[in-house]
Amino acid sequence: MSTELITQLGYVVASGLFIFGLKMLGSPATARRGNMFSALGMLVAIVAALLDQGIVDFTWIVAGMLVGGAIGAVAARAVAMTSMPEMVALFNGLGGAASLLVGWSALSPDSGTITLVTIVLSILIGGVTLTGSLIAYGKLSEKIGSGAITFSGQQIVNSLVVIGILGGAVMFCLNPTDPNWLYLVIGLALLFGIMAVIPIGGADMPVVISLLNSYSGLAACAAGFAINNNALIVAGSLVGASGIILTQIMCKAMNRSLSNVLFSGFASVSNEETVVEGEIKPITADDAYYVLEAATNVAIIPGYGMAVAQAQHVVKELTELLEKNGCEVNFGIHPVAGRMPGHMNVLLAEADVPYDQLLEMDEINPRMETVDVAIVIGANDVVNPAAREVESSPIYGMPVINVADARTVFVLKRSMASGFAGIENPLFYKENTRMLFGDAKESIATLVREFS
């Protein structure tokens, strides 16, 4: 059997393991083993690649793998779960950069036209993914302002960049020996990544990292075409599909189209004043304790504010005390709660909340009428009844968790400032809503002390 054949069979086995691993991610009970199968697939693919007869010198391969592996291992251990969105954003960028380099490096004087086209594609997608992800990382980690950056003539500049990319790409395919066209395409792709992400506001970042996740897969896919490699195409398209599905879910959860997210910052949506009736009714932690002690069914609706206050561990303590008191406790998690898809679930899982207590929006909403107390912690827009009731609201039509259907609603909030999207929330003025002002972590810690 030739080594070429062994390598190809290795790729087949690896692809099978990736697919199997992804299938096992369908349930939290098997997900961890699924991830290991996927990692095993990667190992098989790497060993198969190392058998390549064309390799004369392993020194730099091993050096690169050791350095990269060490950086990856340290990052994976050190990262805090609240910072997962930043890490995923950064890793998307690295994936894009790797595909850009592979495409570039695959360029040889005897490349045919089809190969040249795929090389350009992998450089383009990889470049856009790289700088787009770096900007997303900067916004998420607040190293640069998280707001939408817009300026007049932005559309024109972007159009010129796109035309430049198309022109440069065509010229490069016609004159592959002139590196200047290649440099132009690389430069413009990097510029376009920046231009594409700066006008997108902080609240839309979950959509953007999902989309960049998809791009990093598509870039690997394009690189696979450039170097004729099946493993890259299969794995890349799986990642591409995953990112696209998550992007769709996020857009649906915000009731916005993808083009609306990409091309108009939330800020530009007309902020009509909603006339809110009723008054704010504050409650003290003491009184809140008496209500909770009598409750038999409590729903907790967390938002990113819970993670900012680092309140998830005290929330878990409160959950245990309530359960000891004979109360049923569930968590209602909105798809865009947190800063990336599923972020809240990971933060709560880290605080030892069992995953069967984490309910999706569509599961918790029908039960809301039987809930005695709904506790909203650091969430705002995802529980805003204006989305259902106020047609002029910018978030009208967005699916929300209907906390107002519960008998009593406690809203834990630092002050009366409005949420990430800057939209007034009529929930705070509802008849059955009580505001528990103060730091979420301290408020809950007070409740925990009252119980014990």
Partner 1 sequence: MSGAEYLLFILMLSIFLGFELINKVPATLHTPLMSGANAVSGITVVGAISLAGTGSETMAMWLGVGAVTLASINVVGGYLVTDRMLGFFKKKEG
Q: Which is nearer to partner 1, 243 or 419 (CB)?
A: 243
CB of 292 vs partner 1, minimal distance in Å: 21
Residue with tokens 């390799």: 55
The owner of tokens 């799986």 is 238
Minimum Å distance from CB 144 to partner 1?
A: 22
Rounded Cα gap, residues 213 and 142, in angstroms: 20
Task: Pick the closer one to partner 1 by CB: 6 or 114.
Answer: 114
The yes-or-no answer on residue 356 being catalytic is no
Measured N-to-C along each axis, helices 312-324 and 343-350 cross at an angle, to the nearest 10 degrees, of 70
Query: Among residues 95 and 305, whose Cβ is nearest to partner 1?
Result: 95
- Of 341 and 426, nearer to partner 1 (C-beta) is 341
Cβ–Cβ under 8 Å, residues 395 and 361: no
Looking at residue 452, its amino acid is S
Least Å distance, CB 60 to partner 1, is: 5
Whose Cβ is closer to partner 1: residue 64's or residue 282's?
Answer: 64
Under DSSP, the state recorded for 438 is S
Select which of 287, 381, 405, 439 is catalytic.
Answer: 381
- The closest alpha carbon to 86, from 140, 157, 34, 132, belongs to 140
Q: What are the phi and psi torsion angles at 406 (to 5°)?
A: -75, 160
Which of 62-79 are b and which e, b meaning 16 or more Cβ less than 10 Å from the residue's Cβ?
A: eeeeeeeeeeeeeeeeee
Minimum distance from residue 393 beta carbon to partner 1 (Å): 25
Report, in Å, the least distance between residue 447 CB and partner 1.
22
Angle at 37 between CA 32 and CA 42, to 5 degrees: 125
| Rounded-to-integer distance, Cα 328 and Cα 359, Å | 13
**Cα–Cα dist 402/438, whole Å:** 23
| Nearest to 407, CA basis, from 441, 436, 377, 430 | 430
H or E element in which residue 332 lies:
strand 328-333
Please state the closest distance from residue 154 (CB atom) to partner 1, in A: 29
Q: Which is nearer to partner 1, 97 or 386 (CB)?
A: 97
The helix or strand, by DSSP H or E, that contains position 330, with its residue range, turns out to be strand 328-333
DSSP 291-309: HHHH-SEEEEEE-HHHHHT
Q: Which residues are catalytic?
A: 381
